[in-house]
Structure 1
Amino acid sequence: MICVVKLGGSLLETAALPTCLAAVARRPGLKVIVPGGGRFADEVRMAQRQYAFDDVAAHRMALLAMQQMAELMRGLLPELEIVSATDSLAAGAAAKTWVWAPQVAELDAAGVPASWDITSDSLAAWLAGRIGAEELILVKSAPVAAGADWPELQRQGILDPAFARFADAASCKISVVNKDDFVSHHD
């Protein structure tokens, strides 16, 4: 079984990231962590506002932010392996925990648009579909109401505007949970 777990960059601000990483590692089977961009992506947003460069440059810089978070995660949990090519994930070992460092060339080839409407939430759904994951869990620092649907979570800004489109194509079980619920459920 392959499970994709998106750990939001905001978990770094709440100091919950190490606990969430440990909870992912305890899950059975192959786990692929999709890192949010966190404060690194926030810097890209601020720089784009200040210098008015286009969304293509911002998108590529935001992917670098996710790569930085992947390195940070491995620094916190050294047994994590960073992987960048999705074909490596699809052929992965049964009981590993990997962290995905998205690559511009692969996302461009897949036709993923360069837009702030597509964040690591949508990229996690895209990845889940790409590698045939059975489950996708998006772990958020924000409160998540039980039973809230994707459009409501998009309206609240908890999920990005493009998420539903990518999630529909993923064809797997999808959960959006608060960090505390995730950790308590996986202890």
Structure 2
Amino acid sequence: MTKTTRDKLIDAMIDALQRKGLHGVGLSELLAAAETPKGSLYHHFPNGKTELAVAAIERVGQRAGQAFATLFECQADPLDALTTWLHGALGQLQDSAFERGCPLAAVALESGPEDHEIRAALANAFVTIRQALQQQLQRHGYPQPEGLAALFVALYEGGLLQARVAGSSEPLKQAVTTLLHLTRQQHTESTPA
């Protein structure tokens, strides 16, 4: 399937956000990566880079929600699905020599109070991700599914940030292993025999 110019621009922005953040990439670089002329950017995104960033953030949230839905369909236990997702994220991080992080985190760290549209898009994307996790945890009888989903997302984002800085996946692996162990233990103890 051939990508539209709009999709090429969004994908180029997602890639740039993962590697450099919003302020680390220029329009020329985005246009080169998308293989589109400058006029195409303003045709699809009249408000420029910010509008493109919002579209990219929304796309990341949608893709994450779809990825979780697929993972949870394939694996009976949501913790196994989360493990698969985290291994995939770690693989991508390692394959990129610890350059490609979460595009949402990169933008969140550099956005300010004046970035209303970007922060609203980020908030919605994080809600989408937390809700997808919460629904599965709740469906499988895990206690405090809303808080647990928020904890998993926070652990992922913080662990990914530490892994990028350290150039090692160990900080994220350690945190994930511990949280999954404690969650399984609590679930086992709270499930009637």
TM-score, normalising length: structure 2: 0.29
Larger Rg: 2
If each structure's helix is expressed as a fraction of its own residues, which one has the higher value? Answer: 2
- RCO comparison, higher one (Cα < 8 Å, 6+): 1
If each structure's strand is expressed as a fraction of its own residues, which one has the higher value? Answer: 1
